[in-house]
Amino acid sequence: MPAIQAGRFEAAMSAITDTEERRQVVDFVDYSQSGSGILVADGNPEKIATLRDLCGKKVAVQAATNQLDLLKAQQRTCAPRGIDIKTFPKDSDAQLALRSGQVAAQVLTKPAAGWVAKTADEGAAFDVVDDPAAPGGYNASPNGIAVSKRLPALTGAVQKALQQLIDDGTVTKIFDKYGVASIAMKEATKNAAAG
C-alpha cells in the first residue's frame, strides 16, 4: 500500500484483503471471498457438513491463527460437548494428524484446504467441506486487486477486464485448478467490503 500511495506502483495483485482501513488509501477490485475451511479425510467418514458438526470431535488447527480463534468461538456454542482442539506448529503437522485418524478434521484457510485436497496423494487423501451457508469459508472477507485512488480509469478498466474473465468462465477454471472454485465471486466489485 505505501508503494502505491507513493506512486511507485499503480496497482498490486496478490489476493489482498479488502478492508475499510486499506480503502482509505487504495481502491479494490474484488474477485474472491475467502475465510476458513474444513479439511476432512477422503470420503468424509465423519459426515461433517458444517462448523457445528465439529462439536464433540477432535479437530486440528495451526497454533496462533484466525482458525484457532474461530474454533474457540465455535466451542462456546458446542456446550456441553465442546470441541477437542488440537493445535500444531504447522498445517502439515495438523494434516498428518488428520491422515493418521488422530483428529476428525482440520480447520485452515479455505484456499489452502482446497489446494491440499486437490494435490495430496493426487486428490485421494482429503476432501474440503463445502458448507452452502459459507461458500467462501467461515468469516470470509473479500480479496482483490489494489489500485491507486488517483487512477479511477484504471480501476474501471481492471473491473471490466475481471468481469469479462468471470463471465467467460476463465476465473472459475483458474480457481478450480487450485481446488477453490467456491471462493470466486460472481461479480467483480469495487470496494466490496464498503457496504
What pLDDT score was predicted for residue 167?
Answer: 98
Residue of 38, 31, 42 lying closest to 119 (CA atoms) = 42
Q: How many residues does the chain have?
A: 195
Tell me the three cell numbers of residue 69.
480463534
Q: What predicted TM-score, i.e. pTM, was given to this entire model?
A: 0.86
d(CA 6, CA 20): 20
Residue of 23, 30, 29, 20 lying closest to 1 (CA atoms) = 23
d(CA 139, CA 74): 12
pLDDT digits (tens, 9 = 90+) for 39-59: 999 999 999 999 999 999 999
- Strands 58-62 and 126-129 come out as unpaired
pLDDT digits (tens, 9 = 90+) for 125-142: 999 999 999 999 999 999
Q: Are 34 and 111 in contact (CB under 8 A)?
A: yes
Q: Are 30 and 186 in contact (CB under 8 A)?
A: no
Name the pLDDT band for 14 (thresholds 50, 70, 90).
Answer: confident
Q: How far is CA 154 from CA 15, 119, 167, 194, in A?
A: 18, 36, 20, 19
Per-residue pLDDT for 195 more than 70?
Answer: no
Q: Are 99 and 125 in contact (CB under 8 A)?
A: yes
What pLDDT score was predicted for residue 79?
Answer: 87
Per-residue pLDDT for 78 more than 70?
Answer: yes
d(CA 21, CA 147): 14
